[in-house]
Amino acid sequence: MASETASHFRLRLRRDSNAVIAWFREMWTRRWFRILGYLAGAGLLAILLLWVAFARNLPSVDQLRDYQPPLPTMVRDAEGKPVHSYARERRVQLEYAEYPQLLVRAYLAAEDRTFFEHGGIDYPGIVTAIITNLTNSGRPVGASTITQQVAKNLLLTNEVSYTRKIREAILAKRIEAALTKEQILELYLNEIPLGRRSFGVQAAARAYFDKDVDQLALHEMAFLAILPKAPETYGRARNAGKAMTRRNFVLSEMYRNGWITAAQRDAAQAQPLGLTNSGNTAIAQVGGYYMEEVRRQLIDQFGETPEDGPLSVYGGGLWVRTAYDGKMQQATTNALRRGLIRYDAGKGWSGPIATIEADGQWQSRLASSFIGIDYDQWRIAAVLSKSASAARIGFANGDTGSLPASAAQLGYRKSGGPAFSALRPGDLIAVRATAPGVYQLKNIPEVSGGMVVESPHSGRIYAMQGGFDVRLSPFNRATQAERQPGSTIKPFVYAAALDNGMTPATMIVDGPFCVYQGARFGNKCFRNFGGSAGSGEHTMRWGLEQSRNLMTVRTASQIGMEPIVETIQTMGIGKHEPYLSTALGAGSTTVEKITNAYAMLANHGRELKPRLIDYAQDRRGKVIFPKNWRPCQGCNMKDWDGKPMPRFAKTGKQLMDPMTAYQVVHMLEGVVQRGTAVRLRDLGVPLFGKTGTTSGPKDVWFVGGSPDVIAGVYIGFDQPRNMGGYAQGGSLAAPIFKEFFQGSLMDAPPVPFTAPKGIRMVRIDRQSGRRVYGSWPGTDPKAAIIWEAFKPESEPRRTIREDEIKPIKTQKRSNGPAQKGSSGRTDTDFLDDRGGII
């Protein structure tokens, strides 16, 4: 039976197969069946060709799961407040849950009402669009769903063609299969272009209303929802009518879908657009030389654009914490600008800032020049035309005004005539309003300079100003300008001397000093400032306080230039040649470098690295710079655990003997109390510092500060030239520091400089350097007896001789006229400045 069953089963299969084949042959003889077969084959072939033509090389949808849009870099100040951003596009990335549901529904009403129902393609909408396009010869219209828009924006191009629409539809189906509806909406709301260089709804909310998405009113949500259709049309003030019509349509659609009530619709439709032109005020956008220097450093570290890497400045979404102090920066900017204006006052008009073509495109030319200014309501204007009585001027925003000839009577430096006569159409000038539509000519100082403010505890740079305005000149004179430091180098000359056996009380001759330079050059004779030949023997302290060149160069000759240039290089000032003129500031350095060197003096000789950036994080919060960054353990505890508070360990190498560094600082306190920076004494707080004036004079300096803040400033022409014989560090640079200090630090409690372990404070006679017994220093800065700092076993020896115990009586100084040939000065006068190369 088994055998018969198996045989029967095989016979049955063979019979069925033959029956199917026979049936197919029989049906193929019929015409209508053959037509259906051909159509089916053609359909399969079409699907194959469609895949080859459109779907084969489409981008992978998988990249959307971990999609990282290009985001701007955000900069925070020392307190963590956002103050600047580096962006060529406005972008802010939010999670779907952070968007208000009413805002999401506004976009669904405007763009894709059935988004949560379809599978990525709106087939009825496609049919409608095809019919419209067949009957319309204009720009093709589409029926893109939100999913299709995501595909276009993130994976395809903006090409207007049916080919792109087919590829878009295929990708939309794939996206729907790979992502949830919420994920698709999140991508859409974060990436949709909405005008004003805004990508994403949060960025647009800031650009159009200066609000975050959770602060938007209903009518504002509806306006943002109309922007995907035509952002450059609806976002312009001249098209407010079209925008209102479209916005009110979206509000009606929201009501029709049951998402808002009739009362909400009517109230929102009655509202004006309410657009703002103020931009994003949530970020101060302080800009300036400080932020430009931060940008340079970030670009060097991470690259500029997304093509340079995933952490680029203009695409990586970095969060950067800086040492920026807004109050100090404002004080620094104001002090330097006013100092430049004071020096430049009375010298006349220096000429146009730049020139452009004064044609019909003047506004765009002026705007694209990126020249601007933010000082005292000054504005940059272009001269458009000129008559005998006034010039017509225009601004980058399209406004125009009048510059009367009477308001431009500054003398033109090149010709001597009035500035108005020298004005030509196309000149870019600085002006200030005196009445509505009427302006007065202002002058940008021709002289420039740089200033840096630094912490002597950490090297953090609180403030930086590299010129009058970064939009007038991006060259940062605080970090890029190599200038001769003049007498600001002298503290390091004396530091080398202190390390080689001398003390602040060592007597040094202030007298003629010449060096034989060979048969060709003969003798090189040095001079003090003002040309004096010297005033006898004085202490090292006095020589530094009064910035005596002859005493400095004699000291350098005595100990040799090798240890001096080694000290200068070790302190990061620069690599200088071992010539005697180097001891008077003949080398070159930057404001940043020498300010950091003074900060290390105040830091007891310990190494500091000047830095603007504390740390940088990627978009997910991971610290990526500096590479050796470590969090402070226990610093952010909610409650005190009873253990000692966290303390930062000292970092950096010991570059100078801490006792030597303190001795120099202690002597530099005398520069403020009775020396070349005496005008700072009335600030009434412990300060140290040194003025400097280079030969010419071409540059004037002041570097110094308090135990907590060090600042350095110089003034000079970009192409060095004589500033005038009256120009001195004490009279031009020190007042800038004083104004900075008054504007930012006068409220801080005074802090004294602290001495390191081992320093011995000894009473000495200020003039002779001898040790004093039985008398005590007074409060008068010019008192005969002072406290002096000595290293162990270096202080003046004890004595029983009466003439060495009692202080020397100071000779009464004459206030009579100077002797002939002294240029109106005497060696005993406390000059504002006596430094530099002579």
What is the band of 126 on the pLDDT scale with cuts at 50, 70, 90? low
Residue 822 has what pLDDT?
37
Question: What pLDDT, in 10s, does the model give residues 624-674?
Answer: 999 888 877 777 788 888 888 777 777 889 999 999 999 999 999 999 999
Q: Please determine, for residue 823, whether its predicted confidence score (pLDDT) is greater than 90.
A: no
- Dump the DSSP string for 704-764: EE-SS-EEEEEEE-SS-----TT--IIIIIHHHHHHHHHHHTTTSPP-PPPPPTT-EEEEE
pLDDT at 157: 58
pLDDT at 831 (0 to 100): 31
Closest by CA to 246, choosing from 103, 99, 100, 111, is 111
What confidence tier does 129 reach under pLDDT thresholds 50, 70, 90? low
Q: Is the pLDDT of residue 484 over 50?
A: yes
pLDDT tens-digit map of 224-252:
999 998 888 898 888 899 999 999 999 99
Contacts 24+ apart (CB under 8 A), 166-172: 166/50, 166/54, 167/54, 167/55, 167/58, 168/144, 169/120, 169/121, 170/54, 170/55, 170/58, 171/58, 171/59, 171/61, 172/120, 172/121, 172/145, 172/147, 172/148
Per the CB < 8 A criterion, the answer to whether 785 and 778 are in contact is yes
Specify the range with the lowest mean pLDDT, choosing from 156-160, 495-499, 601-605.
156-160
What's the CA gap between 146 and 161, in Å, rounded? Answer: 18
Q: What are the angstrom distances between the C-alpha of 383 and each of 389, 415, 442? A: 14, 19, 14
142 confidence band (pLDDT: 50, 70, 90) = low
740 Cβ contact list (under 8 Å, min separation 6): 328, 331, 332, 335, 451, 453, 711, 713
Confidence of residue 527 (pLDDT cuts 50, 70, 90): confident
What's the farthest any 2 CA atoms get from each other in the chain? 149
Per-residue confidence (pLDDT) for residue 41, from 0 to 100 = 80
pLDDT of residue 13 exceeding 60: no
Per-residue pLDDT for 495 more than 50?
yes
Rounded mean pLDDT, 779-794: 93
Residues written for the chain: 838
Q: Which residue has the tokens 């207007």?
A: 160
Least confident of 56-65, 174-183, 450-459, 529-538: 56-65
114: Cβ–Cβ under 8 A, 6 or more apart, which residues? 122
Span between the terminal Cα atoms of the chain, in Å: 130
Angle at 265 between CA 259 and CA 268, to 5 degrees: 120
On the question of pLDDT at 278 being above 80, the answer is no
Whether the per-residue pLDDT at 1 is higher than 70: the answer is no
Rounded to the nearest 5°, which phi and psi values hold at 765?
A: -80, 125
What letter does residue 53 receive in the DSSP assignment? I
Identity (one letter) of the amino acid at 360?
G
Nearest to 550 by CA among 502, 509, 503: 509
Q: What is the mean pLDDT of residues 408-417?
A: 90
Amino acid at 191: E
Q: What is the per-residue pLDDT for 44?
A: 76
Residue 630 has what pLDDT?
A: 80
How large is the average pLDDT for residues 790-815?
Answer: 62
If you count DSSP H runs as helices and E runs as strands, how many of each does the chain have, helices first? 24, 24
Closest CA relative to residue 175, chosen from 234, 116, 119, 102: 119
Confidence band of 826 (pLDDT split at 50, 70, 90): very low
- In this prediction, residues 745-769 reach a mean pLDDT of 94
Q: Which residue has the tokens 């393609």?
A: 121
Higher local confidence (pLDDT), 148 or 801:
148
Lowest mean pLDDT among 125-134, 395-404, 730-739: 125-134
Distant-in-sequence, close-in-space partners of 246: CB < 8 Å, separation ≥ 6 = 226, 229, 234
Q: Tens digit of pLDDT for each residue in 21-54?
A: 777 777 777 788 778 877 888 877 776 666 555 5
Does the structure show a pLDDT above 90 at 121? no
540, 546 contact by CB (below 8 A): no
Average pLDDT, the chain: 86
Residues annotated as catalytic (active site), given as ranges: 111, 487
- Predicted local distance difference test score (pLDDT) of residue 696: 86
DSSP 621-688: S-EEESTT----TTTT-SS--SSPPP-PPP-S-B-S-HHHHHHHHHHHHHHHHHSTTGGGGGG-S--E
pLDDT at 414: 86
Q: State phi, psi for 689 to the nearest 5 degrees.
A: 170, 175
The tokens describing 224, both together, are 């943002």
What's 141's DSSP letter? P
pLDDT digits (tens, 9 = 90+) for 541-590: 999 999 999 999 999 999 999 999 999 999 999 999 999 999 999 999 99
Span 82-93, mean pLDDT?
87
Lowest mean pLDDT among 154-168, 195-209, 384-398: 154-168
- Global pTM reads 0.82
> Would you state the pLDDT for residue 556?
95
d(CA 566, CA 499): 12
Question: What per-residue confidence (pLDDT) applies to 502?
Answer: 96
- In this prediction, residue 40 carries a pLDDT of 82
Which pLDDT belongs to residue 785? 93
Cβ atoms of 124 and 272 within 8 Å: the answer is no
Residue 219 scores a pLDDT above 70: yes
CB count in 10 Å sphere of residue 76: 17
Instruction: Dihedral sign for Cα 213, 214, 220, 225, please.
Output: positive
Determine the pLDDT at residue 5.
Answer: 44
